[in-house]
Every structure is written in structure tokens, then in C-alpha cells.
């Protein structure tokens, strides 16, 4: 039996003799592997971006919005009715076992002034529950407490964008800012969250105690009104239970009969995002599947060239057989040749794929992530393609009759 | 002891509905160290006989003993092994691998019996030197003359120390001077190294280098006689 290094030497020599042909054959594999890696990178990049956005909103979130108001037969759309109250939020916290944290929100926009700087932003009055609900943490200072909510203290937490635009590089904690001319003490700064899924700057916000917003900044049409309630379920598998419990509780509290329209809606953000992530993943896989077709075509190119090569080298095969090459000696020679083509093509394809995804993200701005798994996968796939499509020509070569092969012209 | 012994060897080719008897009931023995020439017109069955003797083909009927082993029921790989160890081929068209140096061509048989690279190289160098090709080890076949190419082929046939060399019209593509050189080399191998040689040729001049001439016609052996002293190209010492 011939040794592998000797076979490898023979195969490499054969590939060197027909440089142009070998390069063109490899090109099929190079493009195939490159395309698979790039497409997987695009897919992974997109779904990773969505996961990031999901994490920034907070996980296992439900948002309860008031229903629409109807005036003179004209329905005004979601959130136009003012039906949710602070008591609803407290009831949810106490009576829905699937809910872990609750944050009622009363928000509005206001002008904020510090020294000679001013900035218009959204102000959310809420309870300390907002931090766990939105998976938010503080980069400095402390959060406000239930005590602050009860006493309507004039304290606030600033988003990073506010800090940047009002304070520049100075430390805001302990400073006094004015919201609608009312002085507030800055007690903490929220950690940076970045953009939300629809491009909103989540750091351009100020959090104040709920009662402070209701009584001292915006005023309310009735006491205890909130604009929405954000709720965190205990876990992903309890989201549906939480939704059911909230629906039941609020219907009861709002005295809504079985045939009446609800005056609130519960939205499941996580579910929406998960659906989006799933569809992105499917899209990415679809792209990779299409790209792998080109890899398959590259493999057929290898088989084609190997068949030509076997025919061209019939006499060489005859000579080898006459001096004692066995079936597997001949097979191995051609399989290794095909494998060399496909593996060199695979390595070049990986380089092409990685640079392709880099170029794509630089040029089009798509987030691309080349995972080591996709590299490994497409490389071994290219090897498999070489093995598969190299076997038939090698098999054909090994079955040649030595006499016919020797006299082949 | 007989190196080759054939008993009632036949080879029948099926061509469509008709069967062609290329070789019909050939019984021969060739002793160790003999130098036999095989002659006959084309289609006489001498090539078929050589293919069977060379383990490139299997007979349809009869028995073939090579060095005492029955070769009849061997499979492809076993036949390859026998060719590798026991038989060296020299062809009319040289049959060297193109774009491959003389040295690597000679190494070829050793490649397939797992000989370590160092020994392979050394033995190939020695074989080429014995053929007077020192200094041409790295030439490719297209850089060598016909006579030189044939000597590379002989080196390749010898390198695995095969006891039998089958030469199929080895001088067919050579001019007279090269032919004589090659034949003298073959005679020397036969006389000095005791290698058994079976040679196929059309030319009586070339056949006269041998010690025994077997003539084929229509698949049958029609004559088998020693070369008369007077006709011998190379006299006995």
C-alpha cells in the first residue's frame, strides 16, 4: 500500500501541472464556501442584533395600555382612554402570582434646565419597580425608593443622553436641575442602553417618582391616573399565565362584562421580538441554504474535472497498475486530489467569506457575525463535497483494465 | 526449477455473439534464468500470452504457475502484488510517466510496496547507475533519447529485484544502434544476474539475441526450439 505523503505528493504534482484548470475548479468551492460563510454571518448578525434589542427592552415584558375612548361614534385609538390607575398596578403586583415586578408609568415631555444648558425630553413618573422590569441598572448614585413615591420627593434619575447634553463630563449626582421650573435633585444616573428596536434613544429619558410626576410636573385629570403599566413575568414560560391573570383581574376591577369590549390591552413585547428573531433566523438559514447550492455546484465542477483528468491520465493509471498499484492506491490518489482541490478551495473560501462579511458590514452597514462554528461547518462541508464528488472518478479509475489502460492513446 | 509453467492455457474473448479464441491450449515451461523470444504475426496470440504471463490478464481456461504459485484464481489486488514483486515490464513505447524525473519513475514500483523513502531513493539511484544513466536522474522523459528512456524503463523493471522481465518489443521504437545497445544490456542481465527474460519481437535479428524461440500462430504454439549456435548474436563464452 502506498503511503499518504507519497500520494499527496503525486496529487499535488498533478494539480500543479494544470494550474489554470485547478484554480478554476477551486473557484467553484471558494465561491461556495465564501457565500455560505457570508450568508451565515449576515443571518447571525441580524438575529444577534435583535437579541441585543430584546435584552435592552427587558425580558419577559408585558405592557398594559388603556383602551380607546369613543366620542360620538368615533373611536380615538389605543391609549386615548384614561382607565388605568396606580391602584390597578398595586392590585396586579399583589394578586397576579405570575408577575414579579410592576411599574406604573405616568409620562410626558418637559423642558429641563441645568445652569445655562437646557434640553427637552420625556419624563417618566414611575415606581422603583421600573429598574427590575426593564433590566435597568445605575451607573452611579442610587435609585429612588417607595418612600420617595409616597412623599412625592423631588428627586430624579437621568439617562446617559441627558447627562451628556446637560452636564458634559461633570458628575451630575447631587446637582439640582429644573424640570418645568421645579427644582429636582439628581440622585443617580441610569446605565447606557442604546437604541430600541425602532430606533428610539432609550437613554434620552428622566425617571422621577410616580406621584411627583402626577402632582408636581404634569398634573392629572383624576387622582392616581397612570398612562401605562409595565409588568415583568417571573419567567418566559409564565408570560402567558401573567397575561391571563392581568386580563382577568383588570376586567373584574373595571367591571367589564363578558360581552363588553375591554378598556385596556395587554401587549407582549417579548413575543413580538421572538417572532422577529425567529423569522430572521429562518431568513439567515434560507440564505445559507441557497449559498450551499453553489457549494454543491462547485463539487460537481470538481467531479467533472476529475473525470476528465482520469480519462486524460488513463495511460498513467495503466503504468501505475502494471508496476503494482492496487485498487485503493489508485482510488486514494484521485480522492486525495479531489480533496486537496476542495480543501484548498475551502480555506480560500473562508478567507473570502470573512472578508466578504467585513466588506458587507462596512459598505451596507449590516451587522455580520462570523461564528467559528459556521467556518468549521463550511470547511468540513467542502471536505465532504470533495470526498463525495471525488469518489466516483476515483472509483472509475481504479476499475480500469490495466491492459486497456496501458494501450490507451 | 520452472519459473513459468502453463498447462492448457486458453483465452477466449467474447465479441458480440462470436467468441474469439486468442490463445488455445498453450502448455509451456520456462526455467529460471532462460532467455526466450516469442515471435509470431499480429493476432497470433503472443500478446495475449504475454498479458497472462504478466498477470495483467487472467486466462479463460487452463493453469498458470508462476514460481510454483497458482496465479489462476487471484483477484486484482493479489495480481498487482505479484506484478510488483515478481515481474518487471519493458514496453515498446517505454511507458514512463511524463513530467516525472527518471529517478521518480524508477522509484514507482517501490512506492507501491511501502519501501521507506530513503531506501527507495538509494535503490533507484543504483538501478539508474547500473543502466549507465548516472547524472541523468533528474531528467524528465522528454529530455532523454529513446535508448535512454528504455534504459530508465529497464531500471524500473529491475528495481524491485523481480526474477522475471517481460519485454514487449522493447526495440520497436529505437534505431539500430540503440536497439543493439539495449539488447546487449538485456543479455548481460540474463547472463550475469540470472534474470529470466521473455521477449516479444517481430525481428529475427532481435530474437537471435535469445537462446530459445517460441513461435505463435492463430493462438497456438507452432514451434519451440533453441537458437542454433551459428545463428546466435551473442556467442556463449
Angstroms from B86 CA to nearest CA on chain A? 10
Angstroms from B145 CA to nearest CA on chain A? 20
What residue in A sits closest to B85 (Cα-Cα)? Answer: A324
| Mean pLDDT in residue range A14-22 | 91
pLDDT tens digit string along A362-390?
998 888 889 899 899 889 989 999 999 99
Q: Quick check: B80 and A319 CB within 8 A?
A: no
* Structural domain spans, chain B: 33-60+75-231
Do A28 and A135 fall into the same domain?
no
DSSP code, position B55: T
Dist CA B87 CA B166 (whole Å): 7
- How many residues can be counted in chain B? 237
Looking at chain B, the whole-number percentage of residues with pLDDT higher than 70 is: 97
Q: Quick check: B108 and A329 CB within 8 A?
A: no
Do A314 and A367 fall into the same domain?
yes
Do A107 and A228 fall into the same domain?
yes
Bridge partners, residue B198, by sequence:
B36, B166
Dist CA A31 CA A26 (whole Å): 9
In a domain, A371, yes or no: yes
Residue B199 confidence (pLDDT) above 60:
yes
Q: Quick check: B112 and A320 CB within 8 A?
A: yes
Q: What is the pLDDT of residue A34?
A: 93
In a domain, A301, yes or no: yes
What residue in B sits closest to A1 (Cα-Cα)? Answer: B112
Identify the domain containing residue A338 by its residue range: 4-53+275-406
Angstroms from B60 CA to nearest CA on chain A? 16
Bridge partners, residue B217, by sequence:
B220
Do A19 and A134 fall into the same domain?
no
Do A346 and A282 fall into the same domain?
yes
pLDDT tens digit string along A142-176?
999 999 999 999 999 999 999 998 888 888 999 99
In a domain, A62, yes or no: no
Q: What is the pLDDT of residue B26?
A: 93
Q: What is the pLDDT of residue B9?
A: 92
Q: Quick check: A323 and B112 CB within 8 A?
A: yes
Could you tell me which residues come within 8 angstroms of residue B152 by beta carbon, excluding any fewer than 6 positions away? B94, B96, B102, B105, B106, B128, B131, B133, B141, B144
Helix/strand/coil for B199: strand
Residue A403 confidence (pLDDT) above 70:
yes
Q: Is B97 on the interface with A (CB under 8 A)?
A: yes
pLDDT tens digit string along B21-73?
899 999 999 999 999 999 999 889 999 999 999 999 989 999 999 998 998 88
**Chain position carrying cell 498479458:** B51
In a domain, A106, yes or no: yes
CATH architecture of B33-60+75-231: 3-Layer(aba) Sandwich (3.40)
Number of domains observed in the structure of chain A: 2
| Mean pLDDT in residue range A268-291 | 82
pLDDT tens digit string along B62-78?
999 999 899 888 899 99
What residue in A sits closest to B96 (Cα-Cα)? Answer: A319
Angstroms from A282 CA to nearest CA on chain B? 51
> Which of B112, B120, B162 has the most A C-beta neighbours within 10 Å, making it the best mutation to test the interface with A?
B112
Question: A206, A236, A266 — which closes off a domain?
Answer: A236
In sign, the C-alpha dihedral spanning A293, A297, A300, A302 is negative
Contact B61, B219 (CB under 8 A): no
- Residues of A at the B interface, defined by Cβ within 8 angstroms: 1-3, 6, 13, 17, 315-316, 318-327, 329, 402-403, 406
For chain B, what is the radius of gyration of the CA atoms? Answer: 18
Residue B180 confidence (pLDDT) above 70:
yes
Amino acid at each position: 500500500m502506498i503511503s499518504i505523503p507519497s500520494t499527496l505528493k503525486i496529487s499535488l504534482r498533478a494539480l500543479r501541472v494544470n494550474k489554470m484548470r485547478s484554480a478554476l475548479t477551486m473557484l467553484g468551492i471558494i465561491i461556495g464556501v465564501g457565500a455560505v460563510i457570508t450568508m451565515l454571518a449576515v443571518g447571525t448578525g441580524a438575529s444577534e442584533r435583535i437579541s441585543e434589542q430584546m435584552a435592552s427592552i427587558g425580558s419577559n415584558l408585558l405592557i398594559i395600555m388603556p383602551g380607546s375612548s369613543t366620542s360620538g361614534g368615533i373611536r380615538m385609538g389605543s391609549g386615548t382612554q384614561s382607565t388605568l390607575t396606580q391602584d390597578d398596578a398595586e392590585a396586579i403586583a399583589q394578586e397576579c402570582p405570575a408577575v414579579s415586578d410592576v411599574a406604573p408609568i405616568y409620562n410626558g415631555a418637559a423642558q429641563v434646565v441645568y445652569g445655562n444648558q437646557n434640553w427637552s425630553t420625556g419624563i417618566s413618573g414611575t415606581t422603583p419597580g421600573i429598574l427590575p422590569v426593564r433590566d435597568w441598572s445605575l451607573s452611579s448614585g442610587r435609585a429612588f425608593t417607595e418612600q420617595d413615591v409616597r412623599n412625592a420627593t423631588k428627586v430624579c434619575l437621568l439617562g446617559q443622553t441627558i447627562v451628556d447634553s446637560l452636564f458634559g463630563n461633570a458628575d451630575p449626582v447631587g446637582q439640582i436641575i429644573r424640570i418645568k421650573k421645579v427644582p429636582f435633585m439628581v440622585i443617580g444616573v441610569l446605565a447606557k442602553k442604546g437604541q430600541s428596536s425602532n430606533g428610539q434613544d432609550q437613554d434620552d429619558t428622566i425617571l422621577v417618582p410616580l406621584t411627583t410626576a402626577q402632582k408636581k410636573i404634569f398634573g392629572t385629570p383624576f387622582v392616581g391616573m397612570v398612562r401605562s403599566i409595565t409588568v415583568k413575568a417571573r419567567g418566559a414560560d409564565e408570560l402567558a399565565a401573567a397575561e391571563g391573570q392581568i386580563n382577568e383581574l383588570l376586567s373584574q376591577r373595571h367591571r367589564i362584562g363578558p360581552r363588553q369590549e375591554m378598556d385596556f390591552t395587554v401587549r407582549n413585547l417579548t413575543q413580538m421580538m421572538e417572532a422577529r428573531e425567529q423569522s430572521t433566523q429562518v431568513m439567515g438559514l434560507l440564505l445559507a441554504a441557497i449559498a450551499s447550492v453553489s457549494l454543491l455546484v462547485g463539487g460537481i465542477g470538481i467531479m467533472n474535472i476529475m473525470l476528465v483528468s482520469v480519462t486524460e491520465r488513463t495511460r498513467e493509471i495503466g503504468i501505475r497498475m502494471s508496476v503494482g498499484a492496487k485498487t485503493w492506491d489508485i482510488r486514494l490518489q484521485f480522492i486525495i486530489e479531489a480533496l486537496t482541490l476542495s480543501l484548498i478551495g475551502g480555506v480560500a473560501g473562508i478567507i473570502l467569506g470573512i472578508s466578504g462579511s467585513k466588506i458587507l458590514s462596512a459598505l451596507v452597514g449590516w451587522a455580520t457575525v462570523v461564528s467559528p462554528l459556521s467556518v468549521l461547518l463550511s470547511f468540513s462541508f467542502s471536505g465532504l463535497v470533495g470526498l463525495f464528488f471525488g469518489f466516483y472518478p476515483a472509483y472509475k479509475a481504479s476499475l480500469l483494465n490495466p491492459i486497456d489502460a496501458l494501450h490507451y492513446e | 526449477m520452472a519459473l513459468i509453467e502453463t498447462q492448457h492455457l486458453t483465452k477466449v474473448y467474447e465479441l458480440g455473439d462470436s467468441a474469439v479464441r486468442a490463445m488455445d491450449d498453450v502448455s509451456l515451461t520456462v526455467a529460471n534464468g532462460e532467455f526466450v523470444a516469442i515471435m509470431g504475426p499480429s493476432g497470433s496470440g503472443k500478446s495475449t500470452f504475454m498479458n497472462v504471463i504478466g498477470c495483467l490478464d487472467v486466462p479463460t481456461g487452463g493453469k498458470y504457475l508462476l514460481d510454483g504459485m497458482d496465479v489462476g484464481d487471484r483477484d486484482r489486488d493479489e495480481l498487482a502484488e505479484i506484478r510488483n514483486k515478481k515481474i518487471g515490464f519493458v514496453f515498446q513505447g517505454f511507458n514512463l510517466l511524463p513530467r516525472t524525473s527518471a529517478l521518480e519513475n524508477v522509484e514507482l514500483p517501490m512506492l507501491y510496496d511501502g519501501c521507506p523513502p530513503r531506501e527507495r531513493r538509494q535503490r533507484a539511484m543504483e538501478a539508474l547507475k547500473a543502466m549507465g544513466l548516472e547524472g541523468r536522474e533528474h531528467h524528465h522523459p522528454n529530455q532523454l533519447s529513446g535508448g535512454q528512456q528504455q534504459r530508465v524503463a529497464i531500471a524500473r523493471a529491475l528495481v524491485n529485484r523481480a526474477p522475471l522481465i517481460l519485454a514487449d518489443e522493447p526495440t520497436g521504437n529505437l534505431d539500430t544502434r540503440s536497439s543493439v545497445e539495449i539488447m546487449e544490456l538485456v543479455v548481460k542481465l540474463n547472463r550475469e544476474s540470472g534474470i529470466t527474460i521473455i521477449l516479444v519481437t517481430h525481428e529475427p535479428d532481435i530474437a537471435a539475441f535469445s537462446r530459445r524461440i517460441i513461435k505463435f500462430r492463430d493462438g497456438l504454439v507452432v514451434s519451440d526450439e533453441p537458437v542454433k549456435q551459428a545463428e546466435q548474436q551473442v556467442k556463449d563464452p
